[in-house]
Structure 1
Amino acid sequence: MNTPSLGAPTDDTPISPLAALGIAVLAISTSAILVRWSSAPSLIKAFYRVAFTVGLLAPVALARYRDALSTFSRRDLVAATGAGVALAAHFASWFESLNHTTVAASVTLVQSQPLFVAVGAWALLDERVGRRTAAGIAVALVGMVLMSVSDLLAPSSAPRPLFGNALAVVGAVTAAAYVLTGRSVRSRVSLVPYVVVVYSVCAATLLVVAVGNGDPLTGYPLREWVLFLAMAVGPGIFGHTVINWALAHLESSVVSVSLLGEPLGSTILALFLFGEIPTVPLVAGGAIVLFGIYVTAS
């Protein structure tokens, strides 16, 4: 998910942007693993991941970007609110998908959000879709269909793979909505103020839905709180925030293609940690999806 960079690139950056990008991809590859390890309700996991991320970023925003936070226009606040609601739907649907399908299928399908960004930009913003982009979308859709029916070809150990895969696709669509809704704001607002506002709305939305669903907010063992914090620090701060920093120093196509490493990293971790061995149709469908995303994003 692309958000604004922390600032303009400089030649004296003390950290190699490529090295930072590699660390970020490794960090986000742990996201599905941490979610799967937690036994808390999906909405609770999503809420605390976002809430802890806000808690970690808010002091930076208040110290360095107080003026930017106080000068949000009404238009930008409306757009950021919409982006926050869309992001809440993304987290809720994707976290829940991991309860029903394999890590490999869930992460690959949710990573398809660039396809829906391209389609949404064409349908809603009248942006032109070139032949290469259209071909990439078509290829990826073929792979997504194959992944969705892979359990019919070679049953996996997942309890409800079709339902879980559908939720992951919903997660991709809502992630695309998050990107499209906040696109205009991101050209005017720095990363940290934007993220704090959007994540605050996201956390509030998840909190309301979780309470309405009857999910308890407290009473979890220490292990769960450690996992909640790890989700915020690892995939949240060292993952997506570093990726947004890298966008100020690297071509966006390099960053987009690098993110295709997340499904691979998550699948390998799930293989060793959970014993999840992807079926041949799932691997084939996933490879087709990733190739389609590569064609679309590069």
Structure 2
Amino acid sequence: MNLGGDRALLTGALGAAVISTSAVLVKLADLPATTTAALRNGYALPVLALLALFERRGARRTARQRAWCVLAGLLFGAAGVMQNLAVSLIGAGVATVICNLQVLVVAVGGWWLLAEKPPRRLVLALGPALLGVVLVSGVIGGATGSDPVLGALAGLANSLCYGGFLMAVRQAQRHGADRPVAMLRDVTGVAALGALVAALAVGDGGLTPSWPSHGWVLLLALGPQVAGWLLITVNLPKLPLAVSGLLLLLQPMLTMALATALLGEAPSAAQLAGCALLLTAIGFGALRSRPRAQPKVAHLLPAR
């Protein structure tokens, strides 16, 4: 019996389960998109700063590495805003499935920007994934949600921003970032500041503490953003790639179930077919290709 592997599997699955509550908590908070992004990062920042104090000390950080962290933080904040917008427009479950397209975005971005040619199976997954997005948006077969087309576009924007975030973090790692908690602390701080500026600029409101909205956001910050991230990143590298890839797909499926049970969401048949097609495409393209397509922090899923 491999107790270490079994423990890693259980805690990795627990991390995926914790992260799966993210979109549901965003929906329950019912705050403007920029406000939610600012608050979740702001509430998570002190906890991450405290945890970073206990992290192993590494090499002195360079200016280039800090610059990549700033870019990663801006993209991370933008991804959070787009996720929140998608949840409000198309529903927590469906939005989460679309937002997990960052797996394919990183592969294409790495090919274009870093000259890392993706495996053939991942390229083949792009067509079915795009068809799944079309079905989810309601262009074919109808859809539920206040604005499913705009929601699907926001979900795609989230995947683009989150994929860019992962690539920026990868570059930060290449330039000497060997303290993942400290790096996430810095990224979260930049994301919180960027989202706060956006919230103030558009006049969203909602920054004044209120109950229960801020309670849900606090739970969102401490649960998916901090605890879920730590459980995922610590344990998934210890698992076989096929197993960790399945855990990657577990999160959106759990979110769909939670959204149905807790929020009463009932996607149309076309949207459900689109979600199934998206999950199949992500699994087909990512399960055996992630070592080449994804950075070491590819399991960072708190924006979901």
Q: Same fold (TM over 0.5)?
A: yes
Aligned partner of 1:44 in structure 2 is 35
Find the residue that maps to 2:113 and give its secondary structure.
helix
How many angstroms does 1:130 deviate by? 2.2
Compare 215-224 and 77-86 and name the one that shifted more: 215-224
One-letter amino acid of the counterpart of residue 219, structure 2: A
Q: Return the alpha-carbon distance in structure 2 between the equivalents of residues 182 and 29 of structure 1.
A: 22
Equivalent residue in structure 2 for 1:179, among 161, 166, 172: 166
How many angstroms does 1:83 deviate by? 0.6
One-letter amino acid of the counterpart of residue 44, structure 2: T
Equivalence map 1:152-163=2 (5 Å): 152-156=140-144, 158-163=145-150
Count of residue correspondences? 284
Q: Label 1:241 to 1:252 Cα distance change in 2 as closer, same or farther (>3 A).
A: farther
TM-score in terms of structure 2 length: 0.87
Q: Does 1:260 align with 2:249?
A: yes
Q: Return the alpha-carbon distance in structure 2 between the equivalents of residues 130 and 38 of structure 1.
A: 40
RMSD: 2.0
Q: Does 1:112 align with 2:104?
A: no
One-letter amino acid of the counterpart of residue 32, structure 1: A
* Deviation per residue, 1:82-112 (Å, 9 max, x gap): 1111101100111011111122221110011
Q: Label 1:102 to 1:216 Cα distance change in 2 as closer, same or farther (>3 A).
A: closer
TM-score in terms of structure 1 length: 0.89
Aligned partner of 1:168 in structure 2 is 155
How many angstroms does 1:252 deviate by? 4.3
Q: Return the alpha-carbon distance in structure 2 between the equivalents of residues 279 and 259 of structure 1.
A: 24
Equivalence map 1:40-79=2 (5 Å): 40-65=31-56, 67-68=57-58, 71-79=60-68
How many angstroms does 1:235 deviate by? 0.8
Over the matched positions of the two proteins, sequence identity in percent amounts to: 26
Q: Return the alpha-carbon distance in structure 2 between the equivalents of residues 81 and 12 of structure 1.
A: 39
How many angstroms does 1:62 deviate by? 2.4
User: Residue 23 of structure 2 contacts residue 93 of structure 2 at CA under 8 Å; is this kept in 1?
Assistant: no
User: Residue 257 of structure 1 contacts residue 297 of structure 1 at CA under 8 Å; is this kept in 2?
Assistant: no
Aligned partner of 1:141 in structure 2 is 130
Aligned partner of 2:80 in structure 1 is 91
Q: Label 1:78 to 1:251 Cα distance change in 2 as closer, same or farther (>3 A).
A: farther
Aligned partner of 1:235 in structure 2 is 224
Equivalent residue in structure 2 for 1:245, among 222, 234, 254: 234
Equivalent residue in structure 1 for 2:20, among 6, 29, 33: 29
Q: Return the alpha-carbon distance in structure 2 between the equivalents of residues 175 and 192 of structure 1.
A: 18
Aligned partner of 1:4 in structure 2 is none
Q: Any stretches of 5+ residues in structure 1 without a counterpart?
A: 1-10
Q: Label 1:155 to 1:96 Cα distance change in 2 as closer, same or farther (>3 A).
A: closer
How many angstroms does 1:236 deviate by? 1.1
Equivalent residue in structure 1 for 2:192, among 179, 192, 203: 203
Q: Give runs of ≥4 in structure 1 deviating > 6 Å.
A: none
One-letter amino acid of the counterpart of residue 55, structure 1: P
Find the residue that maps to 1:127 and give its secondary structure.
coil
How many angstroms does 1:255 deviate by? 2.2
Q: Label 1:218 to 1:155 Cα distance change in 2 as closer, same or farther (>3 A).
A: closer
Aligned partner of 1:282 in structure 2 is 271
User: Residue 136 of structure 2 contacts residue 143 of structure 2 at CA under 8 Å; is this kept in 1?
Assistant: no
Q: Any stretches of 5+ residues in structure 2 without a counterpart?
A: 288-304
